[in-house]
Amino acid sequence: MCLCVPAPLLELGGLVVMAYRVVLRAQQKHPVRFILPLLLLVTLLVAVWAESRDYYNLLGVSREATTREIRQAFKKLALTMHPDKNPGDHTAHEKFLQVNRAYEVLKDEDLRKKYDKYGEKGLDEQQGGRYESWSFYRYDFGIYDDDLEIITLDSGDFEAAVNSGEIWFINFYFPRCSHCHQLAPTWREFAKEMDGVIRIGAVNCGDNNHLCRRKGINSYPSLYIYRAGQKPEKFNGERSKDNLVRFSMQFITTTVMQLWQGNVFSEIENAFMSGLGWLITFCSDTGDCLEPRTRQKLAGMLDGLVKVGWMDCTTQEQLCASFQVTSGATALFPPGSSLDQQGSVLWLNTLDSKEIYSQVINHLPDLELLTSDSFQRKLAHHRWLVSFTFGDRGTASNEYKKLQAFLRNDHIQVGRVDCIADSELCQSLYIHKPCVAVFKGLGIHDFEIHHGKDVLYNIVGFARDSVRAHVTTLRPDNFPSDRKEPWLVDFFAPWCPPCRALLPELRKASIQLAGQMKFGTLDCTIHHNLCSMYNIQAYPTTVIFNGSSVHEYEGQHSADGILEFIQDLVNPSVVVLDPSSFAERVKGRAEGQIWAVDFYAPWCGPCQALMPEWRRMARMLSGQILVGSVDCQRFQTFCQSQGVRAYPEVRLYPSNARQPDRFMSYNGWHRDAHSLRTWALSSLPRASVDLTPESFRSLVLSGQDHWVVDFYAPWCGPCQHFAPEFEVLARIVKGEIRAGKVDCQAHYQTCQSAGITAYPTVRFYPYLGRRRYEHSGEPINSRDANVIADTIRQRLQLLLPQLHSKPKDEL
């Protein structure tokens, strides 16, 4: 027998053989003494090889690395390790396959979680089996990864970005698109020009195909402006920097007001009363005055914080003189300043919009400082976004000043806590490093910490979602270990990208399950002991606590997946089988009973992907086929005795109780709920009958029963998909309505006479006496068995009065 062994194992094997030979020679002289050293040496070599195979080590990144950092690290390795660059190295292909596999796994949130939890054995062997040419990685891969002004968005953060309230101009591109590469230098120049005015983004549609299709992107590059609550606007002009700037500037609708003697003082005072300052540029024949485009940029950059205006000192000479202006100049009048106290005014000596923005932000009042004395009182009945700081606050704290403007309409107040001055307060909340948290107006203990990107659009989106949701940051003093009400607890680490991606989904689920289940998150980097108590080995791990029972969530990291899992806990659709119950219920099944059983292992990636589909299929088959599952990690010997050799193994045990060991294995390519359901239903005995032209006339058109008929063609894909659904319908209405099928390929004239023009077509033929109500039948516009059954029954209820009113000689 020949075995295929990967190159790293061959290298390891060579080392082991060499070590073995050395030890063997010595063992010939001292037989016993060298057995233990050999075993230790082999163990050490295996450990070294396993360490070298660690995906994070292969890419040279930390376990906290972002998707962008992973992509950048892989690109560097691809440019040096690619076989195209190492033609003389016969191991180059195998080495690069390892690196490529590591990248393919770690860039994908779901695969990364499985790898973190189960290692390589939790993954499908096919990931990373193919790679591109060296030139692709050099010229096409990660076009904008190194551009700080351009924010690379993916499926996980796209919606939060475009709904944050900021204006986004997004470039949807494809790596192999030549026009996309031609645009790249212009897009970079444009991004530098508009940096800080609007957000400039890029979406790689090669990596985010589903996102781009959802957004209707069908050509590359596609450039769209996004504003919260409004329809995206597509750019269709020539792709020059000036055209892009002109197009984007029209969406900055903040007014730049011309100030003059008749409005200047009332406008300034009104702004001050609202807590807003004024940035005024005075234009004269001499000196410097901001250009109209610069004024408009600053109006957008400072919207909600400072109003922007200009004054024509050639016509308002006395007014300008009252501001002690004799030539062109620009000044900031902060909120609360007095026009006759020039000491509070900031005179600006630059015409650059970015420099002016920086100086203005620095000069504006800081966020309200909350202390241990005021914290509890202020947060008792109002919603707050609070920034917790430790000493040096950096440039981010100035950007946080804009949060007040973004969240004003959401009635969320913004403040800060100095954890150096109020260390006890921060320690009581288990806050040990700078962070932002939302307090929901229910006291100081009901809050949620932000673990997303430290950028405004992400923080704003988090704050808006968090105040509506019902997710609480947990600590030892409020952990629900002994609570009677059900809790969903997410054990996570802030550095883990799949964890961060799951948090918005938890918020969505908490809204839908409000009043039924409580939601909490526990940071395992802070609460190590609590996480160890529940044997948390990978992040995120989501657990349902329901009284004395504890259930770990396995499924897709989505709100819908969580809701389905919880629904299944309340009303389980899949029977958990052990060897005893399998023998009793499956092998000892009653005549007519059918079982579908999934033999799985928890560490198996494809098994995990199947779990939510298996539960969904079980609900769809409720009342028709019994559905179970067997954990082959727990019952390994039993599964081996049943001949299970690979996972997942899906089997159908048919209704013949006299052959209890007989089963059919599922060999289909697709493992979604609908495909599995169709396969399972195909094993049921038919409840419908095939109709010929003669039987259609005698039984349906001239008979004395109600009929529902499926007109189909054997070659029609939707007909094949609908066939098992029609059998479900036939069983639902059995005894009330008869079900039949007409093959329109074999009986074309019959279908043509019935007016059938498309397949499948479902018609209802009610019997109302001697004369059939309608020879063409009543069309039913649904392909759902339950909907069709309800429709027919409702129709019969309406027709009953007609049936009872018929003369006796017509019945």
CATH code, domain carrying 81:
1.10.287.110
Which CATH number fits the domain that encloses residue 164?
3.40.30.10
| 539 against 52, higher pLDDT | 539
Pair 277, 343 in one domain: yes
Instruction: Answer for the pair 162, 228: CB distance below 8 angstroms, yes or no.
Output: yes
Residue 409 binned pLDDT confidence (cut-offs 50, 70, 90): confident
Residue 23 binned pLDDT confidence (cut-offs 50, 70, 90): very low
What's the mean pLDDT in 630-636? 94
pLDDT at residue 709, rounded to an integer:
95
Tell whether 30 is covered by a domain.
no
pLDDT in tens, 768-802: 776 554 567 889 988 888 899 999 999 888 877 66
Q: Which residues of 82-112 are buried (b: 16+ CB within 10 A; e: fewer)?
A: bbeebeeeeebeebbbbbbbbbbbbbbbebb
What percentage of the chain reaches a pLDDT higher than 90? 39
Tell whether 88 is covered by a domain.
yes
Residue 439 scores a pLDDT above 90: yes
136-150, 333-347, 618-632, 699-713: range with lowest mean pLDDT = 333-347
pLDDT at residue 612, rounded to an integer:
82
Residue 382 scores a pLDDT above 50: yes
Tell whether 2 is covered by a domain.
no
Pair 384, 503 in one domain: yes
Number of domains forming the structure of the chain: 6
pLDDT at residue 49, rounded to an integer:
40
Tell whether 567 is covered by a domain.
no
pLDDT at residue 207, rounded to an integer:
81
Tell whether 11 is covered by a domain.
no
pLDDT at residue 38, rounded to an integer:
46
* Residues shown for the chain: 811
Instruction: Answer for the pair 564, 573: CB distance below 8 angstroms, yes or no.
Output: no
pLDDT at residue 394, rounded to an integer:
61
| 564 against 421, higher pLDDT | 421
| Prior bond of 540 cis (ω within 30°) | yes
Pair 550, 425 in one domain: yes
Domain termination residue (choose one: 683, 717, 738): 683
Residue 40 scores a pLDDT above 80: no
What's the mean pLDDT in 127-144? 72
What's the mean pLDDT in 453-459? 83
Pair 124, 162 in one domain: no
Which residue, chain included where needed, has tokens 């408009």? 296
Pair 501, 584 in one domain: no
Pair 202, 229 in one domain: yes
Pair 508, 472 in one domain: yes
Residue 466 scores a pLDDT above 50: yes
- Give the containing element (helix H, strand E) for 172: strand 168-173
pLDDT at residue 396, rounded to an integer:
62
Pair 520, 405 in one domain: yes
What's the mean pLDDT in 396-409? 83
Tell whether 787 is covered by a domain.
yes
pLDDT at residue 337, rounded to an integer:
64
DSSP H helices in 92-177: 92-106, 109-118, 134-135, 158-162
Residue 806 scores a pLDDT above 60: no
Residue 805 binned pLDDT confidence (cut-offs 50, 70, 90): low
pLDDT at residue 203, rounded to an integer:
93
19-23, 148-152, 400-404, 781-785: range with lowest mean pLDDT = 19-23
Pair 72, 188 in one domain: no
* Residue-number span of the structural domain to which 733 is assigned: 689-804
Predicted TM-score of the model (pTM): 0.64
Tell whether 242 is covered by a domain.
yes
Classify residue 795 as exposed, middle or buried by CB count within 10 Å of its CB (0-12, 13-18, 19+).
Answer: middle
CA distance 725 to 718: 11
98-102, 121-125, 701-705: range with lowest mean pLDDT = 121-125
pLDDT at residue 10, rounded to an integer:
35
Pair 674, 641 in one domain: yes
pLDDT at residue 803, rounded to an integer:
58
| 266 against 398, higher pLDDT | 266
What percentage of the chain reaches a pLDDT higher than 70? 88
Residue 244 in tokens: 């892009």
| Strands, E assignment, 557-676 | 575-577, 595-600, 626-631, 649-653, 664-665
Tell whether 271 is covered by a domain.
yes
- Give the containing element (helix H, strand E) for 545: strand 541-546
Long-range contacts of 28-37 (CB under 8 A, 24+ apart): none
Most confident region among 36-40, 80-84, 679-683 by mean pLDDT: 80-84
What's the mean pLDDT in 505-514? 90
Mean pLDDT of the chain: 84
pLDDT in tens, 169-188: 999 999 888 899 999 999 99
Closest to 478 (Cα-Cα) out of 451, 444, 516: 444
pLDDT in tens, 229-288: 889 999 999 999 999 999 999 998 888 999 999 999 899 888 888 888 899 999 998 888
Domain termination residue (choose one: 250, 274, 293): 250
What's the mean pLDDT in 802-811? 51
pLDDT at residue 751, rounded to an integer:
92
Pair 496, 545 in one domain: yes
Q: Which residues of 470-498 are buried (b: 16+ CB within 10 A; e: fewer)?
A: bbbbbbeeebbeeeeebbbbbbbbbebbb
What's the mean pLDDT in 697-701? 90
| 579 against 35, higher pLDDT | 579
pLDDT at residue 737, rounded to an integer:
93
Pair 649, 776 in one domain: no
Domain termination residue (choose one: 683, 712, 732): 683
Residue 744 binned pLDDT confidence (cut-offs 50, 70, 90): very high
Residue 756 in tokens: 């059938």
pLDDT at residue 424, rounded to an integer:
93
